[in-house]
Amino acid sequence: MRKLAILTISIVGILFFNNLQAQPDRWQQHIKYQINVNMNVVTNQFTGTEKIEYINNSPDTLQKIFLHLYWNAFQPNSSMDIRSRELGKNIFTNRRGDQVPDWDSRVRDRISKLTDKEIGYQKVNSIKINGKDQQLIIHETILEVRLDKALLPKSKTLLDINFEAQVPLQVRRSGRDNAEGIRYSMSQWYPKMVEYDYQGWNANPYIAREFYGVWGDYDVKITIDKNYLIAATGVLQNANQIGFGFESTGVKVPATTTSTLTWNFTGSNIHDFVWAADPTYKHLSKKTESGVVLNVFFKPVDARTDSTWYNVLWAAEKVLPFMEKKFGKYPYPQYSFIQGGDGGMEYAMATLLKSSGLGTVFHEWMHSWYQHIMGTNESLFPWMDEGFTDYATGEVSDFYYTNWASKSPYTSDATKAAIARMNEANKSKLPLHQNGSYESYFGLVRSGLEEPMSTHSDHYNTNLAYGSASYSKGATFMGQLGYIISDSVRDKVLLNYYDQWHFKHPNANDFIRVAEKTSGLALQWYKEYWVNSTKTIDYAVGDISAKEDKTFISIKRVGKMPMPVEVLLTFKDGSKELHYIPLDLMFGNKPVENKEGQRIDHAEWQWVNPEYSLSTSRPIKDLKSIEIDPTQRMADVNKSNNKLVIPD
């Protein structure tokens, strides 16, 4: 098969790969939620019911189903508590030279200190199917439901769930009374169906990390004290009865005669639902030209701080067209930026934000593409969500700060000066946002703690390794892909990836196949080295020799990861030659990018060979310098041996 593939490539070139228009077909489950809850703002407890229609589109007969009970993690001696305290025993030296424990600073050992009134819990009192109670087995944050009647392939079942919960003191993501004084940050708040996919049940206990869910339709009713404004996933269905800035223009909202209001939100084709509530929230709203309604909810503090939230709405409107052009259309009717939680966390059609910093704002919004539209399994492929999002965040930030930030009516003169300095610095070879990801990855390599990116997100040995791999090495994957196949083709890959895999839960190989089909190059080797190993890239300029007025230059592969290599020769007369050496595993060359003078293509470099010799028709005496990877998009861990300046 290998020989046949090679022969085929030599004959048909990029047509070797499957027709790009072919659409992947992968079954997935579907769900419909009807949730009703009644919140008591005095006890911080609520009762609720769920009616769930669960559609088994799989070819498998299901004898049991599983649900997440996330808030059971916020109890002393829970798995989350123990895991955090155990990781805290690892002590590392930070960049300032301080000795710090390797725990999430937001969690630390706080869970172990929660009192009975501060803990979180979710108790499912009963699950009935056709009026019959099902057998329930609690595994802390996972509820196992043993069905009295198996769920056959291509069939559905209706579940009636009765549950109650206590909102935990805000520790991680969700909870009450966060540091900014937001009363309720309600994420992971309802019994949520575990995703069953082609790899089986994804019943991941809630330890710290990521989420994965079943796409479906939500109809949620929340009854709460009438003084509380609710910000949530979805579209408010009874806006003209609720008010709080949601009502239509000119509508007079009727006076409330009861102590509570019931808010009704719906959302379609989503796999999560978040809400937040506070009696002091201020609500800003704007409808974009494309019809998407943008909302901002924040707790007013003072004029200067409040203006930064107004800037969130202003900036979001400006960047949305760029995001859609670059990464694919935003398919939902609204998006809400909600102050709450403990940092920044993405949910369907909404995000919880600790503050109004645009870096976090853009990052959480870009998660809408890679977590909520693509729906990648974050637990198994955290780098495909966090890394891709981190890369995209940088692209959006560059666009905003280059084109719009200085024009914002909410930007101070000092900030405008800082923006000008940043734009000047960004004229360097590698954009600042990519440079930051690369440097963070290099730091991970130096730490000696790196683990393969294929590691399950909950099972990294250290928080440091998880964070640097998932975010920085994941983002570097995307920047470096531009080096391998060209930036312009990489950008086409991202759009084709969106077109083919939105709402389909793609995995790592799915992305690579899109990249191969788009570029016409074989790229499995890139995934195997970069994702499934910790081998590093290191190329060096070797010996220089002359023969018959030609110059021969040796390039050495010092690291264990092979790559295509670009070598820039600069001559004393100011002229340049860019020499391109493709890797044999690629079975082809990337397009000419014209970044550094005329490109001279060479024969492919066999990956097993640690050395390669290239030549130029110019004599040694004409040479000024030799530089490997002049655009610095290759994540070479030792750049000190990449450039040689020829002495006069």
pLDDT tens digits, 544-562: 999 888 999 999 999 999 9
On the 0-12 / 13-18 / 19+ scale of CB atoms within 10 A, 631 is: middle
Instruction: State how far the Cα of 108 lies from the Cα of 85, in Å rounded to an integer.
Output: 6
| 349 φ/ψ sector (left φ>0, alpha ψ -120 to 50, else beta) | left
Q: Give the domain 25-75+114-272 fold.
A: Immunoglobulin-like (2.60.40)
For residue 475, is pLDDT > 70?
yes
For residue 159, is pLDDT > 70?
yes
pLDDT tens per residue, range 395-417: 999 999 999 999 999 987 777 88
pLDDT tens per residue, range 279-320: 999 999 999 999 999 999 999 999 999 999 999 999 999 999
Crossing angle of helices 508-519 and 474-485, in 10° steps, is 20
For the domain bounded by 305-333+354-534, which CATH number is listed? Answer: 1.10.390.10
CB 182 within 8 A of CB 299: yes
pLDDT band at 3 (very low <50, low <70, confident <90, very high): very low
Give the list of residues 6+ apart from residue 377 with CB closer than 8 angstroms, or none: 195, 197, 202, 212, 505, 507
Give the list of residues 6+ apart from residue 536 with CB closer than 8 angstroms, or none: 445, 559, 560, 561, 637
Structure tokens at 318: 């400006």
Phi, psi (rounded to 5 degrees) for 55: -105, 120
Q: What predicted TM-score, i.e. pTM, was given to this entire model?
A: 0.93
Instruction: State how far the Cα of 221 lies from the Cα of 211, in Å rounded to an integer.
Output: 23
Return contacts of 449-457, CB within 8 angstroms, 24+ apart.
450/534, 451/534, 452/531, 452/532, 452/533, 452/534, 453/383, 453/477, 453/530, 453/531, 453/532, 454/508, 454/531, 454/532, 456/379, 456/380, 457/209, 457/210, 457/378, 457/379, 457/380, 457/382
CB 522 within 8 A of CB 585: yes
User: What per-residue confidence (pLDDT) applies to 200?
Assistant: 97
User: What per-residue confidence (pLDDT) applies to 1?
Assistant: 42
The count of other CB atoms within 10 Å of the CB of residue 573 is 9
The count of other CB atoms within 10 Å of the CB of residue 227 is 14
For residue 598, is pLDDT > 80?
no
Q: Which residue ranges does the chain devote to CATH 1.10.390.10?
A: 305-333+354-534
Structure tokens at 137: 């087995």
pLDDT band at 62 (very low <50, low <70, confident <90, very high): very high
Q: Give the domain 539-645 fold.
A: Immunoglobulin-like (2.60.40)
> Which residues is 165 bridged to in the sheet?
46, 122
Instruction: State how far the Cα of 234 lies from the Cα of 219, in Å rounded to an integer.
Output: 9
User: What per-residue confidence (pLDDT) applies to 230?
Assistant: 98
CB 498 within 8 A of CB 374: yes
User: What per-residue confidence (pLDDT) applies to 595?
Assistant: 64
pLDDT band at 7 (very low <50, low <70, confident <90, very high): very low
> Which residues is 483 bridged to in the sheet?
none
pLDDT band at 497 (very low <50, low <70, confident <90, very high): very high
Local structure of residue 583 (DSSP, 8 states)? B
CB 214 within 8 A of CB 253: no
For residue 258, is pLDDT > 60?
yes
Instruction: State how far the Cα of 337 lies from the Cα of 140, in Å rounded to an integer.
Output: 31
Structure tokens at 47: 């009762």
| Nearest CA-CA partner of 130 in 151, 153, 159 | 159
Using DSSP bridges, classify how beta strands 598-601 and 576-581 pair: parallel, antiparallel or unpaired.
Answer: parallel
pLDDT band at 424 (very low <50, low <70, confident <90, very high): confident
Instruction: State how far the Cα of 154 lies from the Cα of 166, in Å rounded to an integer.
Output: 36
